[in-house]
Structure 1
């Protein structure tokens, strides 16, 4: 009964489970931040966040799926958001990379665990080949999903872990397994899968990688990209030509295939608003990080400036 009531409530307020997809379908950028801790209380506190999305870093931090599960529950219990979504969107990186398809499949348990915790997406790292990316999409899908199977292969996500995420999404379990599928490959899907195309090996295959269906967004990872091109201190602009060329190639490949491009731009010669203008107008990003060093008031002012600039209508 509780799930049915929540489902009816969300239908009156929000089009989708995943707030980010709602915004991207409206042509709007989304703003993300990193939670300071993973706990139930932190989820409650962050449930009314100014951000549209939380990006949780398990690439470099402890793989705390227990804390993640509690955080998701706190977000749900503190919700819904003012936009009518039960929670903000939550996306995680994983401890493993996607250098080879074998690495992806051998570490599929990591994707399975964060999806069981109820997240809405995964951002995978060092995605060096289209075969690795296909394997990434494959491990997030249930076997009965047919869209794109001729390219991706049969889904590898097993049954048994859908009860918790279904409850967090306010859905029956059968409905959850239907929509816990990558968007925009599945137009009704509620998962967003992202890539870090972040070294010279990835750049060489950028065009083929960007063609793989099931991916919603990607970034160029300037820190790792700089190291790959023997420029270990080139995390922020101004960048050497080789890195500008890499970024432009990745951006072009993504745009050709209708995928969202994500990039930071920490140019110290610019004000915060000038950086945001550059990210939106020049880089064309639809995914934007909220600077953590700013005060809460400064963050709010910056986000409101950006949302007004792009004509956003959805409540925060």
Structure 2
């Protein structure tokens, strides 16, 4: 079976990945419009715009273009649905992670990752329990098993979904993508230890807004101290071969971040996204 998760496929091929952020669950027309813009993934924003499973499920249906899936001969969607959940990593909130993954999304974004303990707890919440003695047994998963909606959304039966709904690259055949946000001074400081000690993190999103707040520069993402934090995050990700994501709005910002080594570029979707188009061109896509 070919890859179901387009984001993982592109990263395995050494290609840059482009995502659109802040899509509101339930806005069907916007979901359809953004699905046709060519993004590799879009992020349904539930941290700040409300925790709404019924509307998330509605949007997920209109994100799919079944004709394209049929014509491609693959179950891989054109654009992967990711969700940014409400709880910060420090809240250790398993049920939100479990129920979000149970909707059938392919990626989970967790705000404010600060410590090794938080990272390990989040990975555990994302994973089903593994067979005793499995090479990738640790961190031992605790996700409750109820393969109802998610397998149907992925086009699989329950057994197939259970096998594939593990975190990449901890499980090389896993199709689930976990990308926590490091967006605070403590998280920046602890990131090398997090990546060294906790397996199961697919990528790190270098967050600027809350980092700027903590540094006493609210809404000033161009503050040199914020950029220094960005570079510390990127350095740790490179050291442990973990893809690093960041926000970029202007074409020149996309070019700079790609040259620096960021592998995932996120922008705010508009019907004409110059930054996204420039990024694809600059990365050879």
- TM-score greater than 0.5 by the shorter chain: yes
Partner of 1:274: 252
The one of 62, 68, 71 equivalent to 2:59 is 71
Separation in 2, partners of 1:216, 1:179: 15
Instruction: Tell me which residue corresponds to 2:284.
Output: 311
Correspondent of 1:289 among 266, 269, 278: 266
Please, which of 133, 138, 141 is the counterpart of residue 127 of structure 2?
141
2:240 to 242, 247, 257: 257
Partner of 1:94: 85
The CA RMSD measured in Å over matched residues stands at 2.2
Q: 1:55 aligns with which of 33, 43, 49?
A: 43
Change (3 A) 1:37 1:108: closer
For residue 287 of structure 1, report the CA deviation from its aligned partner.
1.3
Task: Tell me how many residue pairs correspond in the alignment.
Answer: 278
TM alignment of 1:160-239, pairs within 5 A: 160=146, 162-211=147-196, 212-234=198-220, 236-237=221-222, 239=223
Q: State the TM-score, normalizing by the size of structure 2.
A: 0.89
Q: Please tell me whether the aligned partners of residues 98 and 132 of structure 1 are also in contact (alpha carbons under 8 angstroms).
A: yes
Counterpart CA distance in 2 for 1:87 and 1:71 is 15
Q: Which aligned segments of 4 or more residues in structure 1 are displaced greater than 3 angstroms?
A: 39-49, 76-84, 145-148, 301-305
In structure 2, relative to structure 1, the CA distance for the partners of 1:232 and 1:303 (3 Å cut) is closer
SS in structure 1 of the partner of residue 38 of structure 2: coil
| Runs of 5+ unmatched residues, structure 1 | 1-10, 267-271
What TM-score comes out, normalization by structure 1 length? 0.80
The residue matched to 1:188 in structure 2 has which SS?
coil
Equivalent-residue separation in structure 1 for 2:135 and 2:167 (angstroms): 10
Question: 1:61-118, CA deviations, whole angstroms, 9 ceiling, x for partnerless residues?
Answer: 110111111211222364535865235211111111112xxx21xx211111111111
Provide closer, same or farther for how the CA distance between residues 210 and 36 of structure 1 changes in structure 2, counting only shifts above 3 A: same
Equivalent position SS for 2:129: coil
Unaligned segments of structure 2, at least 5 residues: none
Larger CA Rg, structure 1 vs 2 = 1
Contact 2:57–2:103 at 8 Å: present in 1 too? yes
The secondary structure found in structure 1 opposite 2:174 is coil
Residue 38 of structure 1 deviates from its aligned partner by 2.2
Contact kept, 8 Å, 1:147 with 1:185, in 2: the verdict is no
- Counterpart of 1:263 in 2: which secondary structure? strand
Alpha-carbon distance change, 67 to 215 in structure 1, aligned in 2, over 3 angstroms: same
- What is the CA–CA distance in structure 2 between the aligned matches of 1:108 and 1:32, rounded to whole Å? 25
Q: Is the 8 A contact 1:129 1:209 kept in 2?
A: yes
